[in-house]
């Protein structure tokens, strides 16, 4: 009985904390702050053959395809949310942070997955 009351109290406190934290974030009419998409090219400084990933959302691990797996040299985030590329398919392995300015010469590392990151001050 004592264990259950501690657990219930902890859940109520945690849920109140989450609700309070969420209320501090600015409210937006669109979902721009939740979007994740990458623009990548086979040449340095965004030259050569270029592709965009499918439009995704922050917090979800996506597998890459095309030049992102084979021949990616420069890459940037299409949205201010930012993105982290990973060398393994399950969003693990060596990470590479990518923002809207991008990385202009990553030396053809094969990135097999990515996840968009929501950062309130950039959105």
Give the domain ranges of the chain: 34-122
- Token readout for 49 is 């053959």
pLDDT band at 31 (very low <50, low <70, confident <90, very high): low
Report the 10 Å Cβ neighbour count for 83: 25
This prediction has a pTM of 0.67
pLDDT band at 81 (very low <50, low <70, confident <90, very high): confident
Per-residue pLDDT, 7: 37
Q: The domain 34-122: what is its CATH number?
A: 2.60.20.10
pLDDT band at 6 (very low <50, low <70, confident <90, very high): very low
Rounded Cα–Cα distance for residues 66 and 38 (Å)? 12
Contact partners, residue 75, CB within 8 Å, separation at least 6: 38, 39, 40, 41, 68, 85, 96, 98, 102, 103, 106
Per-residue pLDDT, 33: 61
Mean pLDDT confidence for 16-42: 59
Reply yes or no on whether the pLDDT at 59 is more than 60: yes
Reply yes or no on whether the pLDDT at 115 is more than 70: yes
* Summary mean pLDDT of the chain: 74
How many degrees, rounded to 5, is the angle at CA 101 between CA 28 and CA 89?
85
pLDDT band at 50 (very low <50, low <70, confident <90, very high): very high
Reply yes or no on whether the pLDDT at 87 is more than 80: yes
- Token readout for 80 is 């201010």
Contact partners, residue 96, CB within 8 Å, separation at least 6: 75, 84, 85, 86, 103, 106, 109, 111
């Amino acid at each position: 009985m004592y264990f259950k009351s501690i657990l219930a109290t902890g859940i109520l406190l945690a849920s109140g904390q989450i609700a309070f934290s969420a209320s501090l974030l600015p409210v937006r009419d669109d979902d721009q702050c939740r979007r994740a998409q990458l623009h990548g090219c086979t040449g340095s400084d965004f030259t050569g053959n270029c592709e965009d990933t499918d439009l995704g959302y922050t917090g979800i691990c996506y597998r890459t395809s095309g030049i992102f797996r084979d021949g990616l040299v420069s890459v940037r985030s299409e949205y201010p949310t930012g993105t982290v590329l990973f060398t393994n398919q399950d969003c693990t392995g060596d990470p590479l942070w990518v923002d809207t300015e991008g990385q202009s010469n990553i030396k053809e590392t094969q990135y097999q997955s990515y996840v968009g990151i929501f950062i309130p001050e950039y959105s």
